Each structure stands twice: as structure tokens, then as C-alpha cells.
């Protein structure tokens, strides 16, 4: 579905991505893990057309991906940015309306909103509530649903669990698995390596702009070197014990 080959991105004299290769198969959840500054967000921004690669190729469904963000969205790729970035002063419904701006058919547009409320009844309960008054987990749910309003076939999620309490993190990852059942493929960038690897079909480890490891998510989850570098013994014991 998505093939990234030899992707290089530079900010001034700093190499952010140094020729990385990543592949995302249709219907899968693919995780990208790594420390701060590894290049994870830069990868998503390059796919979305928000930054211009210096070299390499990005192909989606067998064709080169356009470089303009609005054309990337029209091809079926939507990014949910780090930090949620909902419209705090608008209602839940109004946020969903903003996410569906590409849909010109009013009937299908209204159907999409109602489908979101059916799948995510908590948002329906808060339909007319200001988005800024929602809990952190509810705001993240709204941000994801706003992205789904554009009817993507590939959803790019950037640190969806950032800043959330542990119980809400669990809810967010259940939400990601639910998205897959809707027929949407997910490319997930996440610092919570334990949670990300536990749901990922495939995963990539980025360090200093390079892919240093890749493999099946569950296999990397139980790889001792990955556990030592990205999971930490305390987190591991809490989740396993």
C-alpha cells in the first residue's frame, strides 16, 4: 500500500532522515518507535507533504505520492498530529464538520458524522459540548474521528498517547485497533513502545534518522535489546505482572 524508499530529509545542515525504507501493507497497523529526535514525526510529515524530501520516493497504491498536502489527503492519507490540536472553542460536531471538508456530497457527509457517533457513542453524548472541555482521552478520540471524517484509507497517527494518564492510554490503543476493523490502515508513531509493539503487525525502530531494526511487532516486543532500550524494566514488569 505505502512504500517509502531511500527517504532523506534535511533541515538546514541537519540530516533528519538518512535514506530510510518503510513499507505499510493494506489492513495492517505499522508502528514506528524511537527516542525524541529520531525522525519519527519528520517521516509522517514527509508522507503528508508537510516537508519536502531531499531524496527518495514515496509510493502509495502503486503510484508516486503528490507533494502537496491537500492532494495527499485527496489520495486517501490523513495525518492526526501530535498534541491533538482540536478546535477547542468549537463543539464536538463542529470539529467533525471541519474534518469532513473534502466531502462535497451533503448526504454522505451527514452519514459520515452519524457513523462516527454510532461507533463512538461517547462523542455522541458530548455532541454539542465545547471540545476544549473534554477529557484528554476524549479529545484524542475526537482528533482521530475528525481525521476519519476525510474517509482515509491510511491514517497517520503521531504520538496519540502523549500526555495521557495510563488508563486513557489503554483506551487510545483500543481505539486504534477499532480503526483497523473499519478497514483503515494505520501508520503509528509512538514513544510508548510497549503499547505500540503489542498491537503492531510490523514495526520499525528509528535512531538518528535511520532504521536500525524492523520486524513483527510481537517479536520486537519480546526482544531483549528493544526492551532494554525502549521499554525499561519497570514498565515491562508493570505490564507483565
Residues 207-233 pLDDT 10s: 999 999 999 999 999 888 888 887 754
CA distance 82 to 157: 8
Sheet holding 2-11, edge to edge: 14-24, 2-11, 55-60, 63-64
Q: Report the candidate in 78, 49, 43 with the shortest Cα–Cα distance to residue 64.
A: 49
CA distance 128 to 104: 23
The model's pTM is 0.88
- Are 172 and 111 within one domain? no
- Are 188 and 120 within one domain? no
CA distance 185 to 156: 9
Q: What is the domain-level CATH number for residue 15?
A: 3.40.50.300
Identify the domain containing residue 146 by its residue range: 86-151
Residues 114-146 pLDDT 10s: 989 998 889 999 999 999 999 888 999 999 999
Please give the mean pLDDT across all residues of the chain.
Answer: 90
- Are 103 and 113 within one domain? yes
Amino acid at each position: 500500500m505505502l512504500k517509502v524508499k531511500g527517504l532523506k530529509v534535511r533541515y538546514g545542515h541537519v540530516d533528519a532522515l538518512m535514506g530510510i525504507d518503510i513499507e505499510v501493507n493494506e489492513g495492517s497497523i505499522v508502528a514506528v518507535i524511537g527516542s525524541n529526535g529520531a525522525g519519527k514525526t519528520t517521516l509522517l510529515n514527509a508522507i503528508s507533504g508537510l516537508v519536502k524530501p531531499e531524496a527518495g520516493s514515496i509510493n502509495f497504491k502503486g503510484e508516486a505520492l503528490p507533494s502537496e498536502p491537500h492532494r495527499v489527503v485527496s489520495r486517501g492519507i490523513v495525518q492526526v498530529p501530535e498534541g491533538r490540536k482540536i478546535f477547542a472553542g468549537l463543539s464536538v460536531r463542529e470539529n467533525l464538520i471541519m474534518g469532513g471538508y473534502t466531502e462535497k456530497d451533503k448526504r454522505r457527509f451527514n452519514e459520515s458524522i452519524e457513523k462516527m457517533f454510532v461507533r463512538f457513542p461517547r462523542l455522541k453524548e458530548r455532541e454539542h459540548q465545547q471540545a476544549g472541555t473534554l477529557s484528554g482521552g476524549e479529545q484524542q478520540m475526537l482528533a482521530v474521528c475528525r481525521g476519519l471524517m476525510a474517509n482515509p484509507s491510511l491514517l497517520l497517527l503521531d504520538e496519540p498517547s502523549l500526555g495521557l494518564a495510563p488508563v486513557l492510554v489503554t483506551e487510545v490503543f483500543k481505539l486504534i485497533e477499532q480503526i483497523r476493523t473499519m478497514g483503515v490502515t494505520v501508520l503509528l508513531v509512538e514513544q510508548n513502545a510497549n503499547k505500540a509493539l503489542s498491537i503492531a503487525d510490523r514495526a520499525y525502530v528509528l535512531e538518528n534518522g535511520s532504521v536500525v531494526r524492523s520486524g513483527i511487532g510481537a517479536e520486537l516486543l519480546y526482544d531483549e535489546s528493544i526492551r532494554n532500550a525502549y521499554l525499561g524494566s519497570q514498565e515491562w514488569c508493570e505490564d507483565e505482572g
